[in-house]
Amino acid sequence: TQLLEQSPQFLSIQEGENLTVYCNSSSVFSSLQWYRQEPGEGPVLLVTVVTGGEVKKLKRLTFQFGDARKDSSLHITAAQTGDTGLYLCAGAPSGTYKYIFGTGTRLKVLA
């Protein structure tokens, strides 16, 4: 079974703190997407990373694709309450058209 394991599963931090969320697999991915889902809403696509070692920034969010394209990380600087939500990584292992979602990280930022 091809899995995307995310860690931590849950994270509760104070506003202003930094955090990193990880997405790991034993499979190689041609690209990975990151989504954020707020309670009761659909996931919203944040970014796609394609090249091994690639770093993309979206305001206070920094996304990195591992050199071997088996893992990715999301770093949030100076978290805000609006960052609260479920973060999902997703992608299709290379050579397949099977798009899978990660296990998710539920982030709560406290004021």
Partner 1 sequence: EAQVTQNPRYLITVTGKKLTVTCSQNMNHEYMSWYRQDPGLGLRQIYYSMNVEVTDKGDVPEGYKVSRKEKRNFPLILESPSPNQTSLYFCASSLRGPYNYGYTFGSGTRLTVV
The stretch near partner 1 (CB under 8 A) out of 17-25, 55-63, 65-73, 86-94 is 86-94
Cβ–Cβ under 8 Å, residues 14 and 110: yes
Could you count the other beta carbons within 10 Å of the beta carbon of residue 62? Answer: 16
Judged by CB under 8 A, the stretch of 18-26, 56-64, 70-78, 96-104 that binds partner 1 is 96-104
**Interface characters, 11-30, with partner 1 (x: CB under 8 A):** -------------------x
Residue 14 beta carbon to partner 1: minimum distance, rounded to whole angstroms: 26
On whether the CB atoms of residues 88 and 104 are closer than 8 A, the answer is yes
35 closest CA partner among 111, 110, 99: 99
Given a contact cutoff of 8 angstroms between Cβ atoms, the answer to whether 54 and 65 are in contact is yes
Q: Interaction with partner 1 in 28-57: which residues (CB under 8 A)? A: 30-31, 33, 35, 40-45, 48, 50
Give the integer Cα–Cα distance in Å for 100 and 84: 23
The contact set with partner 1 (CB under 8 A) reads 30-31, 33, 35, 40-45, 48, 50, 88, 90-92, 97, 99, 101, 103-104
